[in-house]
Structure formats: structure tokens, C-alpha cells
Structure 1
Amino acid sequence: MIFDEYAIKSLIRPVPGFPKEGVTFRDITPLFQSPKALRMVADSLIQRYIDSPVTHIGAIDARGFLIGSILAYELNRPLVLFRKAGKLPADTLSASYETEYGEATLQMHRDALSGGEQVLLLDDLIATGGTFLAAASLVRQSGADVYEAAAIIDLPDLGGSHQMQDTGIPTYTLCAFAESER
């Protein structure tokens, strides 16, 4: 199946004013309601990483879990969950970060990584980059490395992908929405 960026972008629903006025939320649920589009997204990411040295898939709460679990299964790699504070039951590592709406904390199980792993971080989109940067901090606290941070969507005007690249985190996205498209 050939990747069609226009088809993917057409299935990402803009929701103006959510979760607050002035923000246009990019809703990926219509994309997941299309088996063809979901397969196109998953297959594109699988092909990118099938021959990579990635040892673990790091899925970021909560929409990153959707595509992360598919990649972990298809690439036969362990899945590491990065969750909002208080959602993981065992001993955790924590990293706080700034969001567009305030401050948040991301956690992962302390024993999820032991050191030396190459982790692919996945989420639905890159906005300010705070969540990815927090996840990368947790990976590094564990002695592992971030291979790349991947998402379906980049919002380049918010600067997250540039900030991530400036801190040594390679990024990859399937599509981008510029300010003029919001």
C-alpha cells in the first residue's frame, strides 16, 4: 500500500476551541475508524523501523498507545508505557514538563529498561515537544538511548520538533499542519 499523506491529513479532524479557546485539537479518531488509513499509517512506520536497531517501543499516554502497540507487535519488540502520574502500579521514574495548559508529570516503570536499549518513542503528535522531552528524560535516566521520536502529526509552528532535534532527539512524522491549516 502506497502512503498517501493527503488521505491521512483528510482523516484528521480539526476541533477548534478544544480543550480551550485558541487551540485547534487534531483528533485522530477518524483515522482509526478507517482500516485502510490505519494500515497505511502502521505499515509506513513498520517499514521505517523494521531493519532499525530499535530494541523497545515507547508509547506515550494515551494516543501513543494505539500505534505503539501495533508497532511493538509487528516488530516483535517490548512495549514500554509512558503514563501520566499515578497511573502505573509499581515503582516509577518521573519527569515533569510544561504543556500548553500548565505543568504535567510523566512516569514509566523503573524496571522497564535496564540500560543500553534503543527506544523508539511514539505519540499521535508533536506540539511543544514537552511530553516527548519528558519521555526522553526517563529513557536516559534508565541508561537507554532514544533512537527516534515518531508521530503521525507535527505542528511545526509550536516548535516542539525543532526543540527536540536541538536536544539530540531525531524526529519523524507522517504529516504536518502549519498555522495556516489550523
Structure 2
Amino acid sequence: MPRLTTVEKVIRAAHRIFDRDGAEAVTMRRVADAVGITPMAIYRHFPNRSALLKRLSDDSFQIAAEEWETRTRHPDIERRLMTLLDPYLDYALAHPHLFDHSFSVRRDDARLYPEDFRAGSSPTFNVVIDAIIDGMAQGVLKQDDPHDVGMTIWAHQHGLIVLYRAGRFSFDEAQFRAFCKQSHGRLLDGIKAR
């Protein structure tokens, strides 16, 4: 097994701290202590804490997108769109701090709708858009703006997760997941071609 570079060690340590304690806990000193280097050594690779947090966020998006892509390789459009719900729920519930930083916290470097999304800058959103475009081309989904439809699907899923994490559901996790699937199915029924 190849040895990790200093950058890889820094990213892994920062990721563990972030995942466990949130963005506020990721300090250069704390990450350096976890890696066994001086805080100044991190600055050789990341000019500041914001750059390190951005790298964590970007890596999380890329990993999520790759997982979504592998889990949604199916010719049936409805099945593909239903399957996208699971990895999103998994990520949100297993990694709440990373999820919040990626999707719920105002950040200067966050992608903006519509321009960044229409330009293909969001690796996760691109997976959804590809499925929607395929569905419209096959006549399975109503003709519409695929990016607007994708944003509607995302907002629906995200809203349910935020409400669940805020304690607005009395469901346990299994019940919540079942409710999300039913609700997502209802939304997909509304965008199907008749």
C-alpha cells in the first residue's frame, strides 16, 4: 500500500474532524495535531482554512457524484430517478456536518442556480440532469426545462431532510426513508409524460 502524501493526510484528518464535530472544529492547529505536523506545514498546501474547507466540500461532491453515477446505471428512467434518493439520504443522515456545509450553509464559493448548474459545474446535479434529459428524450417525462425540473426534485428531497433533522417528523429513520420514497414517487408521477 503506497504511503499517503502530506496533503492526503491533511485532507483525511480534516475530513474526520469535520465529519465528527463540524466545520467550526476544523482549525489548522487541530488538523496539524491530528497529522503530527506543525500548523505552518499545512499552509504549504492550503493558503488558508477556507481553501481547506473548500477542498473538503469539493471532494465530497465528487465522491457523491461518482457513487450516484454507479448506482443509477439503469435504462429505466423512473428507477434511475428513484435510486438517486438513497445516496442523498445516506449522505445527509450519515454525515450531517458535511451535508450542512455542502448544501445548507451560506458560502461565498457555493454554486449558484441557474448559471453554475446550467454550466455543468455541479457534479451531483449533473447526474440528476442526465437522467431527466434522457427521460424527456425517451418520452417518459414531460417536456420542460430539465434544470428547473432537477432543481424541483432536489429542493423537495432537501426540504424533507431539513425538516426531519429539525425534528419535524415523529418517524424513526426507517419510517422517514419510506415516507421520502413515497413522496418522491408522488413528485415523479407529476413530471411523467401521460
Superposition TM-score, scaled by structure 2 size: 0.29
Who wins on radius of gyration, i.e. which is larger? 2
The structure richer in strand per residue is 1
Using CA pairs below 8 Å that are at least 6 residues apart, which structure has the higher relative contact order? 2
